[in-house]
Chain A
């Protein structure tokens, strides 16, 4: 672990990840309720963007868990 880095990095990244997963679910719900095709396309595209970020963050948390094993599974 690098010097000067907060010990709770894994924890806060996981928090962000959880918020993002919730946001993705909400966007997907809104998309399924949307009747207007244009708005639905926007919502679907945004859900895709958020999903990409979620994947990247999941990968990152795995790496962080490896670095800070004491926070594993937080």
Chain B
């Protein structure tokens, strides 16, 4: 067998082997590489290169290295899925670096991090003041996770005590001028509904680059022609304002009328509307 054929065959075989091997551990590995994973990759890569180029005196020795270095990590990986102890050995454990707002110098030393390292890692997390940190831990892949003190954490609707409506993922129903049927049916809508909505804004579907429908049925359109202004959906804002105006009108009528019977009716109606407004606000305003 000529040398070039030999090398080509080896390379092809190893290429397929490595491709299959790297697919086996699943998604997790892609983003969370531990030191151990990196080492394995280096050994596998080096050996593969050596075998491909026919640098080893015997083919078997290279194959044995490959077998050991792929079987051991794989079996360790499957063990670590099953057992916590194996997981601690293979992936290591996360280390608490800051607890209750106090830096734990011992863990810092154990993680081989200096105070500057900690500060710079905190800064990459947009934390510039160590006094704001309640808890920070070093994950097994070297990422730092930070929990801010309650008064320094970003406000959420819950901490503000604001009621919010439910919202699910918007569906992309038009891409590159083509109507996508599957996302439409996922929302319980159809082409005819979409055409009606498009006609309302006066846009042909062919002119739409991206069209999205949120879970409330409001359509957002991005056109090929960026100079054309598309009106953004305002149904909900308008509804809220209309109801608010009606409620104010009713209060006015209650003041104007001299008839006590209708004054009571206007007052009650105004109250009913303000109750409806209170309940609708989280759904209509956002």
Binding site for B on A (CB under 8 A): 2, 5-6, 9, 12-13, 16, 19-20, 22-23, 26-27, 30, 33-36, 38-39, 42-43, 45-46, 49-50, 52-53, 56-57, 59-60, 63
Contact = CB atoms under 8 A, between A and B. Distances in A.
27 contacts: A2-B258, A5-B257, A9-B253, A16-B246, A16-B250, A19-B245, A22-B242, A23-B242, A30-B217, A30-B283, A35-B168, A35-B187, A35-B215, A36-B215, A39-B283, A43-B283, A45-B276, A45-B279, A46-B276, A46-B280, A49-B273, A49-B275, A50-B243, A50-B272, A53-B269, A56-B268, A56-B269
Majority DSSP secondary structure for residues of B touching A: helix
Contacts of A36: 165-166, 168, 215
A57 B268 CA distance: 11
User: Size range of the interface on B?
Assistant: 20 to 34
A25 B166 CA distance: 22
Contacts of B268: 56
Contacts of A53: 246, 250, 269, 272-273
Interface string B216-236: 110000000000000000011
Contacts of A23: 239, 242-243, 246
Contact of A5 (B216, B217, B258): B258
Contacts of A6: 256
Most chain A beta carbons < 10 A, residue from B250, B262, B266, B280:
B280
B37 interface: no
A64 to B, nearest CB: 9
A42 B165 CA distance: 10
Given A35-B215, A38-B166, A39-B283, A12 B239 contact: no
Contact of A27 (B239, B245, B256, B257): B239
A20 B246 contact: yes
Contacts of A2: 258
